[in-house]
Amino acid sequence: MKKLDRLRKKIDSIDEEILDALNRRAEVVLEVGRAKRDKNAKFYSPVRENEVIKRLQKLNKGHFPNDGLKSVYREIMSASLSIEEPLKVAYFGPKATFTHLAALRYFGSSADLMPNESIKKVFEAVDSGKAEYGVVPIENSSEGIVSHTLDMFMDNDLNINGEMFLEVAHHLLSKSGRKGSIKKIYSFYQPTAQCRGWLEANMPGIPIMEATSSANAAEMAAKHKDAAAIATELAAKVYGLRFVSRHIEDMKRNFTRFLIISQEAHPKTGKDKTSIMFSAKDRPGALYEVLAPFKRAKINLTKIESRPSRRKAWEYIFFVDMLGHIEDKKLQHAIDSMKDACLFLKVLGSYPCGE
């Protein structure tokens, strides 16, 4: 016990050093803020944040995991930013949804995260300046594209400023955390479908009550002692629920990709992705003609998706992701070369590849 006490005191001493270092860092952050105001520069710099994290991960030779280091410094920089003024970020959905969790992971908990009832409202918030950034889902690895997000790019001139991937993890939550007390389960239709096998094997005969979202399911479960919810880990914290069982999804390694939207374009980082949208002329070989410049330039197209244009019957809009930045000469030349074969062409943005 004496050895344990000595070790705990050592940890306490280190924690005090960390606290002192954080406050000294905050003082420098305030000086940086004053210098930026003098130059009328933006206080938030995502490029600088990523540089800081990458540099520290390279320097890290100890036992502390790099993923944990990234999470810690994301929170440190989010809190530092809030000393001046919290970053305003709009996201789709109520609190405790996967989009809320994605916004937290990307911007940190000190950002002013503003829920919006629709993807359209997120775009409007960013376009009007009410929010500096927006977070919207774009695709799921098992269910495909979120078409409404793609549609919004047709009518808005916002830039894709970043992306992130979040693993879809469903948990069974309740007030007591005891499986035996559950008489009903609240769930949104998508989590229900994604957990069908587990529910049939582990909760046979328990009725599933439909909720308007996973957050709403957690909210309902928090009101009833005999109820549970299929929801996110964040919902457990927000609504004061306990875990009955973790990771009850039938399909493991299921990811949702989110886009970060902004009025600002993202500068080149050296590991970037560019997204475009276009419609091809209605003639034989038109799509090949449009895409051929990318093959000649040896540009890797990582995704191509089509959907009706909503403007003319049988006219389609194509959405393409490719590796590289719009400032790259060969990528810019390839996009310029495809214009003659397009009825419509729009560059949605270049941004760092997500992890």
Nearest CA-CA partner of 260 in 328, 324, 143, 351? 351
Active site residues: 256, 258
Kindly give the interhelix angle for 98-107 and 66-84, rounded to the nearest 10 degrees. 80
Nearest CA-CA partner of 190 in 229, 143, 127? 143
Nearest CA-CA partner of 192 in 135, 250, 109, 148? 250
Q: Which element (helix H / strand E) includes 77?
A: helix 66-84
Length of the chain: 355
Q: How is residue 172 written in tokens?
A: 């069974």
Q: CA-to-CA distance for 320 and 302, rounded, in angstroms?
A: 8
Q: How is residue 63 written in tokens?
A: 């036992």
Nearest CA-CA partner of 224 in 212, 208, 210, 241? 241
Measured from the Cβ of residue 70, the count of other Cβ atoms closer than 10 Å reads: 17
